């Protein structure tokens, strides 16, 4: 997790999803970058939404990757499902994957 965090810059996520959120209406949204990182972990470890959130609640490597404090509460799994279905269109997901893949490959240090 440390190598992924050090080598992949996820800062592109918030600007890319800015149009998907209303700044002046409704309650504040969960950080889009964190939500995308959760989807990244979900795909990387082939987990269901529920299993991912459960693991992320107790796995310190996940919390480190997500930039969360050890005692921070995780989101409800339904919020991840809602994010995936309402905020990320196929076009946006394709752009995000291209951006992630365009970054230099991870350097494995032995």
How confident is the model over 5-44, as pLDDT tens digits? 888 888 887 777 766 655 655 444 558 888 889 988 998 9
Please give the pLDDT value at position 18.
66
Percent of the chain exceeding pLDDT 90 equals 35
pLDDT tens column, 66-110? 999 999 999 999 988 888 887 776 777 777 777 777 776 655 544
CB hemisphere CA count around 71 (13 angstroms) = 0
């Amino acid at each position: 997790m440390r190598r992924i965090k050090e080598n992949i810059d996820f800062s592109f996520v918030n600007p890319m999803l800015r149009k998907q959120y209303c700044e002046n209406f409704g309650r504040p949204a969960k950080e889009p970058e964190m939500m995308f990182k959760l989807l990244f972990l979900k795909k990387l470890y082939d987990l269901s939404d529920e299993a991912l959130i459960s693991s992320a609640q107790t796995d310190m490597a996940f919390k480190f990757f997500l930039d969360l404090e050890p005692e921070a509460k995780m989101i409800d799994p339904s919020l991840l499902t809602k994010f995936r279905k309402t905020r990320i269109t196929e076009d946006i997901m394709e752009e995000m994957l291209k951006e992630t893949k365009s970054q230099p490959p991870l350097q494995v240090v032995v």
